[in-house]
A and B are shown apart, each in its own frame.
Chain A
Amino acid sequence: MFQSTEQNFRAARNEKVAKLLLGALTVVLILPVFMILTTLVVKGAPAISWEFLTTNPKDGMTAGGILPALVGTVWLVAVALVASVPVGVAAAVYLTEYAPDNWLTRAINLAIINLAGVPSIVHALFGVGAFVLFFELGTSILAASLTLAIMALPVVIVATREALQAVPHSFREACWAMGATRWQTIRHVVLPNSVSGILTGVILEVSRTAGETAPIMFTGAAFFLPFLPQSVYDQTMALSLHLFVVTTQVPGVPVAMPYGVALVLVAVVLIMNAGSIWLRMYLRGKKKW
């Protein structure tokens, strides 16, 4: 391919340049993130205190804490999990254990990719049209969580599917040959050995749902509520929405407060994500076959 030494020399030098350039691009991507995180921590830490995390907002939300927002997010995430995990796991089981190679399976896969790609505001519109209005749930935790659940479904499906596919096919054949039904095989061998993979998906879903704002804005989350939610039919505050509110909707907020809220939200999300990544790596080491 290359004969002259001079061409070789130039090629080698091009390679050095390219390597440098790519490294620089990587830094360009990573560096702003570190700078932003540092700013968040530096400017937000002063606002964080035990009081911040455990009391209600005061003075028109210019002071006080974020407790109702935290509690609300927990509600929303929990209900969303309850709704989405069984359906997501079932969907993944169908795809790995039952689905024949036909148009329906292709449609399902396409639908999963699309669900993940639908703009969050469109999810919000759907939530309003379907849950708030059509099913008459009103603006409530239930409506908001169901909207979140549908949005986060692909995360659970993909993680579960990966875990199921990691179980060797020969295990299933050995069980079928002994006379086990598909369900017995799934229940006794396949699923128990996929739980940890499913868990990583669940943690990822938690992280995703905790951070979403648009889907809950019109379906159940409110700017300010003087009380904590008592049931799934109540409205609620939420951490993600609260960040939006104190940043853009409340005049006269001391600078540290929005940074504090942002810091809490980022911390929650990043810790969850890091946890999921760590779990995945830990599992890679603990091989059971």
Chain B
Amino acid sequence: MASDVPAGKEEVVSAPAEQNDAIEISVRDLRIQYGKRVVLRDLTLDVRSREIFAIIGPANSGKTSFLRVINRMDEFVKDMTFTGEVKVHGRDVRAWRNLYALRRRIGVVFPLPVGLPLSVYDNVAFAPRLAGVRDKAELDAVVEKSLRRAALWDEVKDRLKSLGSLLSGGQQQRLTIARALSQNPKILLLDEFSIAVDPVTTMRIEDVLKELREEMTIVLVTNLVQQAQRLASRTAFFYMGECVEIGDNEPFFSGDVKDQRTRDYLGGKFG
């Protein structure tokens, strides 16, 4: 597929039905502001089921703000407002009456690794408990499964009672992934997960993501162009509050791009 140019220029064309491409996240004319300052404008795109959708671009391009809107974390940020339509699974995120339920269905990994000051077990059991799971056997199963999928189980299985906040940075980031996975999400959002983490852990997490792609939709914001190249099926380039273009990975990273800015960024002309 050639790259799509979004935003008001043409209709966004979805792929012909090769797979059952349901649209997980649909965005129309999204505009995000902090007070009077516009950080993202005219964003229109679709994120399809079971793809890894990467977003690359320099700092302050609106990438993180976009992620925040998807699970309505804008509620916790002062002065953050947005207009336009964002639909998750066909339902507008503004129409949700219980935002906590929305967030429970979406997993998030932040740039800075966070281990909550609870035991490792309680870290991963946190979300299931929020969802009402009380049965010890069930919790045990969820905790083990999530830690295994996050490639952390072997390192912590003998010390599930130790404090999550005292783990190493790389372990805490995998713990965050385990927490996200314990929510059994259909959508996983990762915001520059490798910034504060060593290369070995980054590789392990990338392997985890490749496996997860079979089961869920992943939106990956990254400042590492090669990471997007390795993992994503489609990539979007955000620059200064605009989505400049979106493309399937193969053509995108071999230079078949429509916009000069994209070419410059991919060529490392600015970072």
Which residue from A178, A193, A289 sits with its C-beta under 8 Å from B127? A178
Asked whether B100 lies within 8 Å of A179 as measured between CB atoms, the reply is: yes
**A289 engages B165 (CB within 8 Å):** yes
Our pick among A175, A176, A193, A289 for the contact of B166 (Cβ within 8 Å) is A289
Q: Provide the bound-state CA to CA distance between A181 and B104, in Å.
A: 11
Q: Kindly identify which residue among B163, B165, B166, B183 contacts A178, using a CB–CB cutoff of 8 Å.
A: B183
How many Å from the CB of A178 to the closest CB on chain B?
5
- Does B101 reach chain A (CB closer than 8 Å)? yes
- Interface hit among B46-54, B110-118, B141-149: B110-118
Query: Number of residues in B with C-beta < 8 Å to the partner?
Result: 29
Separation of A184 and B102 alpha carbons in the complex (Å): 16
Give 8 nearest A-B pairs by CB, closest first.
A179-B104, A289-B165, A179-B103, A177-B108, A174-B114, A178-B127, A179-B100, A288-B117
Residues of A contacting B165 with CB < 8 Å?
288-289
State how many angstroms separate the Cβ of B10 from the closest Cβ of chain A: 34
A288 to chain B, nearest CB (A): 5
- Closest approach, in angstroms, between the C-beta of B118 and any C-beta of chain A? 7
Contact residues in B for A184 (Cβ distance below 8 Å)? 130
Q: Mark A95-131, 1 if CB is under 8 A from B, else 0.
A: 0000011000000000000000000000000000000
Rounded to whole Å, the gap between the CB of A175 and the closest CB of chain B is 7
Say yes or no: is B126 at the interface (Cβ < 8 Å to chain A): yes
Known: A170-B110, A173-B110. A193 touches B103 (CB 8 A): no
Chain A residues with CB under 8 A of B270: none
Is there contact, CB below 8 Å, between B166 and A180? no
Q: Answer whether A176 and B103 are a contact pair too, CB < 8 Å, given A101-B78, A289-B165, A289-B166.
A: yes
Known: A288-B165, A289-B165, A289-B166. A178 touches B117 (CB 8 A): no
With a cutoff of 8 Å between Cβ atoms, the chain A residues found around residue B163 in the complex are 288-289
- Chain B residue at smallest Cβ distance from A182: B76
A178–B131 alpha-carbon span in the complex (Å)? 10
Evaluate whether A175 and B116 lie within 8 angstroms (CB atoms) in the complex, with A180-B100, A288-B163 already known: yes
Chain A residues, CB < 8 A from B180: 178
B194 within 8 A of A: no
Partner of A174, one of B78, B105, B110, B183: B110
> Which residues of chain B have C-beta atoms less than 8 A from A173's C-beta?
73, 76, 110, 114
Q: Let me know if A189 is at the binding interface, CB within 8 A.
A: yes
A-contact 0/1 string along B54-92, CB 8 Å cutoff: 000000000000000001010010100000000000000
> Which residues on the B side are within 8 Å of A101 (C-beta)?
78
A171 at the interface (CB under 8 A from B): yes
Interface residue B234 (Cβ < 8 Å from any Cβ of A):
no
Q: Which of the residues A177, A188, A289 comes within 8 Å of B103, measured between beta carbons?
A: A177
Interface residues of B (CB under 8 A from A): 71, 73, 76, 78, 100-105, 108, 110, 112, 114-118, 126-127, 130-131, 163, 165-166, 176, 179-180, 183
Question: Would B108 and A171 count as touching, CB distance under 8 A?
Answer: no
List 5 contacting pairs A-B, 8 Å CB cutoff, sorted by A: A171-B114, A173-B114, A177-B73, A177-B108, A188-B118
A101, A174, A181, A288: which has the most chain B beta carbons within 10 Å?
A: A174
A residues within 8 A CB of B179? 174, 178
Q: What chain B residues lie within 8 Å of A171 (beta carbons)?
A: 114, 116-117
B141 to chain A, nearest CB (A): 18
Q: How far is the CB of A198 from chain B (nearest CB, A)?
A: 16
A264, B231: Cα distance in complex, Å:
72
Query: B101, A179: Cβ atoms under 8 Å?
Result: yes
Q: Are the C-beta atoms of A178 and B104 separated by less than 8 Å?
A: yes
Residue of B nearest to A189 (CB): B116
- What residues on A are CB-neighbors of B127 within 8 Å? 178-179
Further 10 A-B residue pairs, CB within 8 A, beyond A178-B104, A184-B130: A174-B176, A175-B116, A176-B103, A179-B100, A179-B127, A179-B131, A180-B100, A180-B130, A288-B163, A288-B165
- Chain B's closest residue to A101 (CB) is B78
Question: For A170, what are the chain B residues with a Cβ–Cβ distance below 8 Å?
Answer: 110, 112, 114
Residues of B within 8 A of A177 (CB): 71, 73, 103, 108, 110
Cα distance A268–B180 in the bound complex, in angstroms:
51
**Considering only CB atoms, which chain A residue lies closest to B77 in the complex?**
A173
Q: Which residues of A contact B105 (CB under 8 A)?
A: 179
Whole-angstrom CA separation of A172 from B131 in the bound complex: 18
Contacts of A178 in B (CB 8 A): 103-104, 108, 126-127, 130, 179-180, 183
Q: Distance in Å from the Cβ of B21 to the closest Cβ of chain A?
A: 27
With a cutoff of 8 Å between Cβ atoms, the chain B residues found around residue A175 in the complex are 116, 126
Indicate with 1 or 0, residue by residue over A178-196, a CB within 8 angstroms of chain B CB atoms. Answer: 1111001000110001000
